[in-house]
Structure 1
């Protein structure tokens, strides 16, 4: 059976569903396929931080400015897809005060609200902070619930006329005379899809997807562990104000906190060791900020894989468990037009951050619209996501698209017996 569409988006993470939503809202006939449930790759296995941009303020001005802009947009459109927790960067006695000052200056330069408080006031706000906290910087970080965010984007895309197909792995891509002529999709769909344009939004798997079309996209995925422990009442996201390193963030959920994360290069985003030392290090490092975490029982543990673009990582000298720039934390995104590789109706989008998923998707949609000669501008920054004000409705969307993933498993209700209407 053959399914025809104008644009085929491969990959149902944040960027993929965001692209499908953006293009369909411009009147483009879009089909999205995902091999598992939505958000099943990097997006749903992240730590779910809604960046204020403060993490990048001293090292990546462009990334910091993008984060604060998208932070504000997601708050407007996302509703219960996010937790408006706020955040603080804490400086311990052993941490470099000049680094704190540089981050503060960067926040001020890039329009990121930042308030400096002393250690006593920080402990008033977060009572179990270490006595070693000498001061803190209050910033508008938050928490993203990725399963809800992706499912709501998919529901919006379908409301605008898109087709979203889950459990639909791409098994083959046929290229004829320099264009993709067909894509074979298996799983529960088992169809041949013919599209005028194909977008590879498979994240850490972009290399494997591109290779099916005879195109080389070199990725350098890195794994990172997240550890959930039962803990109520934390309040803000707690960041260590030091050069980025393993175990420097604590993210609040409703009845748990998430400790993260490591950064270790892997060869295969589907096959890698989940090592005990990574979990132990999260407790050791995060307990320096909040000693009450030491010895807590683990509620759940998961690993995610970052979709890092290898040429970019090589240019910065990123490495396993690196610190600062060597950790590759800025992670810009890259839109690769494969016309120059001999496949004129094919592009890949790689890199980036969950906080900037919408901006990335808009850039991809702009590119595709330009190629197809489609008029109209993006509306995704102003149109609220469906169900944003109703967590029950959002969780029904999550069930509909099989999008309940580890990042927010403790927050999203299991509504697999219910199906949301389109």
Structure 2
């Protein structure tokens, strides 16, 4: 079977479904394919932090400004795909006070609300904090439930006319006169797609996807562990106010907290070791902020792989388990037009953060529309996502798109049997 489409988006994570939604809302004929269920790559295996921008305030002004802008947009459009928890950065006795001051100055400079409180008030607000907390900075961080967010974006894309195909791995491409002529899709779909334009939004797998078109996209993926611990009642996101390092974030869910994360380079985003030392490191480091974690049992663990663009990482000297800039704290996203590589109708979008997925998708859609001659503006910052006022409806969408993933499986209800019956 052969199917024609104006734009084929490959990859069903946040950026891919966001791009499909944006293009479809502008009236473009879009097909999205994902090799598994939606969000089954990096998006659904992230720590799920809705960044306020404070994490980047002292090192990456542009990234900080993007985060707070998108943070506010997502609060408006994403409903129960977001947890409005707030967040705090805590300075422990051993942490550099100058770093705290630099972050505070950056927040104020870039429009990020930041309130400084002393250690006693911090413990009044968050009793789980240790006696070693000297002071804290209250910021508008939050939690993203990526399974819900991606499913809602997919439903919006479909509502605007997009074709969203899961369990549809790309198995090959043919080129004709410097353009991708056909894309072979296997799995449950098993068809040949003839696109006018192709967007590679496969994240850490962007190199493998681009190679099918004879294009070299050099990625440098790094793995990171997340550890779920049964723990009710933690209010805000907790961040260690020090140079970015292993085990410096605690994300509150409804009945668990998620501890994160490590940063270790891997050769293959599908094949890497899940090592016990990473789990132990999360407890050791996170318990320095929140001593009540000490001795708790692991409820679940999962690893994610970051979609890092190798030339960018090399430019800042990133390395395994690095700290600060070596950890790639100021990384952005990159839109690569492969016309420069001899393939006219092909682009890859790599890097970035889940918080800024919508902005990345809008930029990608702008680029594609300019090439196609489509004169339409993005509406994704104003249009609320479907289902977001009802968690139960969102969770049914998650089942519809096979989008239930480790990052929020303790929050999202499992309606997979219902979805199968409906099919």
Shorter chain as denominator, the TM-score bin is: over 0.9
Residue 331 of structure 1: how far off its partner (Å) = 1.8
Cα shift readout 1:350-379 (whole Å, capped 9, x = no counterpart): 000000000000000000000000011000
Matches within 5 A, 1:232-381: 232-381=232-381
Q: Is residue 200 of structure 2 the alignment partner of residue 200 of structure 1?
A: yes
In the alignment, the residues of structure 2 paired with residue 191 and residue 327 of structure 1 have an alpha-carbon distance, to the nearest angstrom, of: 41
- Aligned equivalents of 2:152, 2:223: Cα separation in 1: 27
1:40 maps to what in 2?
40
What is the CA–CA distance in structure 1 between the aligned matches of 2:372 and 2:394, rounded to whole Å?
33
Q: Distance in 2 between matches of 1:346 and 1:234?
A: 45
Which segments of 5 or more consecutive residues in structure 2 lack a partner in the other structure? none
Matched, 1:102 2:102: yes
1:329, 1:416 → 2: CA distance? 37
Contact 2:59 2:329 in 1 (8 A): no
> RMSD of aligned C-alpha atoms?
1.0
Q: Which residue in the other structure is 1:136 paired with?
A: 136
Distance 2:174 2:365 in 1: 23
- Cα distance per residue 1:227-255 (max 9 Å; x no partner): 00000000000000000000000000000
User: What is the 5 A alignment of 1:394-413?
Assistant: 394-413=394-413
* 1:205-244: CA deviation from partner (whole Å, max 9, x where unpaired): 0000000000000000000000000000000000000000
Q: Return the offset for 1:298.
A: 0.4
**Corresponding residue number in structure 1 for 2:186:** 186
TM-score by length of 1: 0.99
Is the partner of 2:416 in helix, strand or coil?
A: coil
Q: Deviations over 1:130-183 (max 9, x none)?
A: 100010000000000000000000000000000000000000011111000000
**Residue of structure 1 equivalent to 2:81:** 81
Residue in 2 that maps onto 1:210: 210
CA distance in 2, matches of 1:63, 1:181: 36
Deviation of 1:201 (Å): 0.1
- Offset, 1:266: 0.3
> In 2, Cα distance between the equivalents of 1:173 and 1:278?
38
SS of corresponding position for 2:40? coil
Does the alignment pair 1:415 with 2:410? no
Distance 1:195 1:374 in 2: 16
Runs of 4 or more consecutive aligned structure 1 residues displaced over 2 Å after TM superposition: 417-422
The 5 A counterparts of 1:151-170 are 151-170=151-170
Q: What is the deviation of 1:329?
A: 1.8
Pairwise CA distance, 1:417: 2.6
Distance 1:128 1:29 in 2: 51
The aligned counterpart of 2:227 is: 227
CA distance in structure 1 between the partners assigned to 2:14 and 2:331 by the alignment? 15
Deviations 1:42-89 (A, max 9, x none): 000000000000000000000000000000000000000010000000
SS class of match (2:283): helix
CA distance in structure 2 between the aligned counterparts of 1:257 and 1:171, rounded to whole angstroms: 38
The count of corresponding residues between Structure 1 and Structure 2 is 422
TM-score normalised over the length of structure 2: 0.99
